Amino acid sequence: MTGLLVLAVLATLLAGTCFAVLLDRAQPALVAEFFRSRVETEAPDRLNRDLAPAWYLALAAIGLSVVPFAPGLALIDSPAGIVIWGSCEALIVVTVFLHGWAPNAPFPLIGAYRYAALALPVMLPSMFVLIAAALPAQSLSLIAIVDSQREIWNVIRQPLGLPLFLVVALALTLRGPMDYADGADIATGTSAEESGAARATWYLARAAMLVSVSALAATVFLGGPLGPLLPGPVWLWLKTAALMALTAWLGHHVARPPPGRMLTLLWIALLPLSFLHLAISGVLAL
Amino acid sequence: MTDPVTDLVLLLLTGFAVWTGWRVFRVDSMVRASFSLMLSFIAVGAIGLLLSAPYIGIATVFMMAVEMMVMAIFMVMFMMNPAGLNPMMMVHQHGVSIAAGLAAFLGLGAAILLSAPPSDPVPPQAPVVAQLGHELLGPSMLIFETAGVTLLATMVGAVILSSRQGRHGAADEGSRPPGLTAGGAPAGRTPGEEGGPGHHHHHGGHG
């Protein structure tokens, strides 16, 4: 059974990544990119520069492996599954920062610090939203959270949860309004000095992360593998694909405010809103 | 703990935690030091997993990743070498450090050697996360809530102290930079050196 689950996670990640690449408006010439030579910067931190794309990809895989593919069945069946996902989120911020810090060049460094300053306040609503979803289940296990949605999905029971988590999803996949790391306004930021296989891997890792975040959102808010007629994994794939399309659409259609204004928005509006959401969910779950 | 594989993993994690902890003081940049410390704590978190404390182990990884990232942000706000790529010395106050290190090592070593650690294996089916939750929000609630509120007050205080805007105007207006030598005259330009009070507000914010 474990072998089957490993296979399911890898297949989902692979197929989902292809779907995510198709969702993007413009794709880089991926195959050609893999054979292009690398541009060197002066005195880079080689270890982190070479490993950051791999870490990003690995975090996408770990994040996906806590998601239940059928009721009661997840590759990493931990009593604190949602905290594992939270750790992945925090390490994603570190990875994106190191990806921009390592080349030792101005634009990547600006992207790295800008992203760190904006992604950290996003971590707080993320934790509040996920803890709120754990309240009706009375458990931090994602399997229990799926089971708690048999009567009614969290997206209806906790209406603020999914919209708030979509902001987190945009931040973790460096997309649209939350793309402060690799934005075009600073010449693709943390990726500005990157070329060849490393650039292609980073792009693919961003696509894989979209799969992982969407699968988690589908599990926490849309009942994951729950649904009539079709088998569990198919429902999970359908819901994940729908959330991927929604996140990509938001990324394409919502404008990115200046970093200062976004920072104010995150601390003044989003954080109190998520706290209110947690308080309401807590009272309802009593 | 009779399983040899668990013992080997524990040894490897301990070695990794010590090695990355040592690297914190040997590397030449604040970013490298921060994230070496993070790796050290991640290894400790993994040891927590082996000791049947899944929540504490995983939460350690989460907390340390966020904490080290916050440290990097504070670095760019307050340090003279914000990027963290220029070489810098990571150790200072050698005498005090050596004494503190020796005292901590001898004290902890004596504690391990002289005390009898309990042997109380957790049954595999025990709901350890729920038990921890009941402990935190039950008998130990007062301790944890006091610590939490104290930390929050400290953070709010630190932000207020370091913030430029204040009730009595901008923090850098009228403040004196420290002298270049001990007890010497303040460094930088003195107020009224150029223009006079009439022009003062044009320069505000770049002191």
pLDDT at A6 over 90: no
On chain B, the residues whose CB falls within 8 A of the CB of A86 are 58, 62
Across chain B, mean pLDDT equals 79
pLDDT in tens, A27-65: 777 777 777 777 788 778 888 888 899 999 999 999 999
- pLDDT, residue B206, reads 42
Task: List the one residue out of B62, B40, B128, B122 whose CA is nearest residue A78.
Answer: B128
* Helices of type H across chain A: 2-23, 30-34, 46-65, 81-101, 106-137, 142-147, 154-157, 161-172, 196-221, 232-253, 259-264, 271-285
Domain that holds residue A177: 2-285
Amino acid at A81: G
Reported as half-sphere exposure (CB side, CA atoms, 13 A), residue A227 has a value of: 19
Q: In the structure encoding, which two tokens stand for residue A178, read together?
A: 């939350």
Report which of residues B19 and B124 the model is more confident about.
B19
pLDDT in tens, A211-249: 999 999 999 998 888 878 888 888 888 999 999 999 999
Task: List the one residue out of A19, A35, A38 whose CA is nearest residue A27.
Answer: A19
Q: Where are the domains of chain B?
A: 1-86, 129-170
Q: How many domains does chain A have?
A: 1
Mean pLDDT of B3-20: 90
Note the maximum CA span of chain A: 59
- pLDDT, residue A62, reads 92
On chain A, the residues whose CB falls within 8 A of the CB of B73 are 113, 116-117, 120
- pLDDT, residue A219, reads 92
| A contact test, residue of B49, B75, B129, B152 with most A CBs within 10 A | B129
Decide if B83 touches A, using CB distance below 8 A: yes
pLDDT in tens, A67-87: 998 887 788 888 888 999 999
Identify whether the C-beta of residue A256 lies closer than 8 Å to the C-beta of residue A235: no
Three-state secondary structure call for residue B188: coil
For this complex, say whether ipTM is above 0.85: no
> What are B179's strand-pairing partners?
B186
CB contact under 8 A, B70 and A120: yes
pLDDT in tens, A142-181: 988 898 888 888 888 888 889 999 999 999 999 889 888 8
pLDDT at B79 over 70: no
